[in-house]
Amino acid sequence: MSWVKSPIGVHAQRWSTLSGTRKVLFVVHTVTSANRLLDLVPLFDSDLRVQLVFTCPQASAITGGVVECFAELGVLAVPWEQALDTDFDLAITANHSGKLHEIRAPLMIVSHGVGYSKNSGDKQTYGLSAPWLLREGRVVADALVLSHTEQLDRLAVAVPEALASAVVAGDPTLDRIRASRPLRTRYRETLGVKPNQRLVVVSSTWSSRSLFGSWPDLFRQLLAELPLDDYVVAGILHPHVWFGHGPHQIRLWLADCVRAGLVLVPPLEGWGAALIAADLVIGDIGATTAYGAALDLPVVLAAYPEDDVAMGSCVDVLGMSAPRLDPGRSLRAQVEEALSYFVPGELQKVADLISSYPDEAASRLRARAYELLGLSEPTRGVLIPPLRLEPSTKDEVAAYFVTADLKRYPADVFSGRLLDAPVLDDPHLVVHAEHPDRALRSAADIVFCQDDVQAATLFDDLSCRLVAVIDRCEVRHRDGRVFRYDGPDLLRYTSEIYLRVTGRGPA
């Protein structure tokens, strides 16, 4: 990345169109940090006095995706070396590593998780202990942002010299989630959830002790047990999972799950909207799970490494309150129990520990930021933009078993069914004509495709009895009969025909 000449640098006066602006440096270590820091960008909305500049210090173990994130957002990004060589009026970050003490600006540090809830390798709380807050005995941050007063109490014990810089401001991410709740129906539609379906969100933080690290087959097992017409499963993986292994590898590992209907939520933004859309959250010690509790959703823990959790934090309380998922029992039964027996408000004590000032974080953070900038605050109110969620792109190249009562189960993950799960009752197999598993295509009772071109030779190449042609809304029998249908679910109708012509259903 080349050094820029505008709006910073020795030639900035010559090349800048708006001169004399106050410069705010956003120090983005990882995509995880970007998720949090982007919630603070609206603090400076429409203020012509302020210029934002972004940089990545390359000080974290997993920095992949940050450059692409900058490019997608269209922000002005500068090399870390130039950032350290430049005077700024304010710097904001969500991390503690790297040469933050060398930044030539007042420094504001916010949490990049739900409060300060995780221990680092030395069993001290990340972001709320001396190794993270002090450099040569001096407090690095001019403003250390806390979301709850309980963190202030822990700070007073761990690093009392940092109390003077502490600011209890609430949680801007929680506030965006709360402000976006009226969009629940839109988010569910975007995720492809029908009114009669339940959305199960499975969330994992990173590391081998996380949900995905310790139980990587959980997605597969859930999808194998939950009927397609009754449930949608969405997966939220920590950005460190995405970029620690590579997005291509994650999609490859979960390819059969995506064909089975799994909705993979993008790593930058969308996870909060998916939570709002959810009926149940299965998670671990990650922030997403705690935010699910704050939304008064039933939460079940599939992984909980206690040593990684800071005592007294909201996640610590969640671990003492939420039930655990048992790998030895039917997952469908446990999902149904969690939905049926949940009592609204039973996780309120978790929610109460996330923010001391619900819906006030933006105003409190803006006040402190402008104080550090030496500027008067804008007269307009602070903005809390609703969460964005990109349309879901489900893999339509699917295969599934259909039982006599027309319950559908994805065939790609059928081997993931637990041994004590019920055996399907006389199923028939429905497979897309372009499914990559040749064995499934060859064994299919019903094959479906998009148009006439695809359908032309299917009876010649495959042994199926019926072909469903989606674009023409018709079902073709091997004996030449054609059934036309103008309803909402052609494939369900095709299965009904199959049951009739094989004598397994009404005539």
- Is 23 in the same domain as 169? yes
- Is 81 in the same domain as 213? no
- Average pLDDT, rounded, for the chain: 94
Separation between Cα atoms, residue 468 and residue 483, nearest integer Å: 9
Rounded mean pLDDT, 295-314: 97
pLDDT band at 442 (very low <50, low <70, confident <90, very high): very high
Rounded mean pLDDT, 416-439: 82
CA-wise closest residue to 80 among 96, 114, 56: 56
Q: How many domains does the chain have?
A: 3
The reply to whether 195 falls in a domain is yes
pLDDT tops 80 at residue 392: no
pLDDT for 421: 57
Residue type, 152: L
Rounded mean pLDDT, 461-488: 96
pLDDT single digits (tens) 91-100: 999 999 999 9
pLDDT band at 390 (very low <50, low <70, confident <90, very high): confident
| CB < 8 Å & 24+ apart, contacts of 32-35 | 32/94, 32/112, 32/238, 32/239, 32/240, 33/93, 33/94, 33/95, 33/112, 34/66, 34/69, 34/268, 35/112, 35/173, 35/239, 35/268, 35/269
- Is 284 in the same domain as 150? no
CA-wise closest residue to 92 among 42, 134, 19, 46: 42
Separation between Cα atoms, residue 37 and residue 60, nearest integer Å: 16
pLDDT single digits (tens) 218-261: 999 999 999 999 999 999 999 999 999 999 999 999 999 999 99
Rounded mean pLDDT, 185-199: 96
pLDDT tops 80 at residue 394: no
Contact yes or no for 191/392 (Cβ under 8 A):
yes
State pTM to two decimals: 0.94
CA-wise closest residue to 260 among 412, 403, 421: 412
The SS3 assignment for 300 reads strand
- Is 234 in the same domain as 278? yes
- Is 339 in the same domain as 288? yes
| Residue 75: CATH number of its domain | 3.40.50
Alpha helices by DSSP H, listed for 278-416, are 287-294, 314-321, 331-341, 348-352, 361-373
Domain boundary among 352, 384, 410: 352
Rounded mean pLDDT, 16-20: 92
pLDDT for 86: 97
pLDDT band at 420 (very low <50, low <70, confident <90, very high): low
Separation between Cα atoms, residue 5 and residue 10, nearest integer Å: 7
The reply to whether 381 falls in a domain is no
- Is 333 in the same domain as 362? no
pLDDT for 13: 86
- Is 45 in the same domain as 68? yes
The reply to whether 3 falls in a domain is no
- Is 90 in the same domain as 207? no
The reply to whether 393 falls in a domain is no
| Residue 185: CATH number of its domain | 3.40.50.2000
pLDDT for 422: 56
pLDDT band at 338 (very low <50, low <70, confident <90, very high): very high
- Is 155 in the same domain as 219? no
Rounded mean pLDDT, 89-115: 95
- Is 333 in the same domain as 188? yes
The reply to whether 471 falls in a domain is yes
- Angle formed by the axes of helices 172-179 and 287-294, nearest 10°: 50
- Is 221 in the same domain as 364? no
Q: How far does CA 164 lie from the centroid of its chain?
A: 34
Give the tokens for residue 420: 């004590």
Domain around 433: 399-501
- Is 43 in the same domain as 153? yes
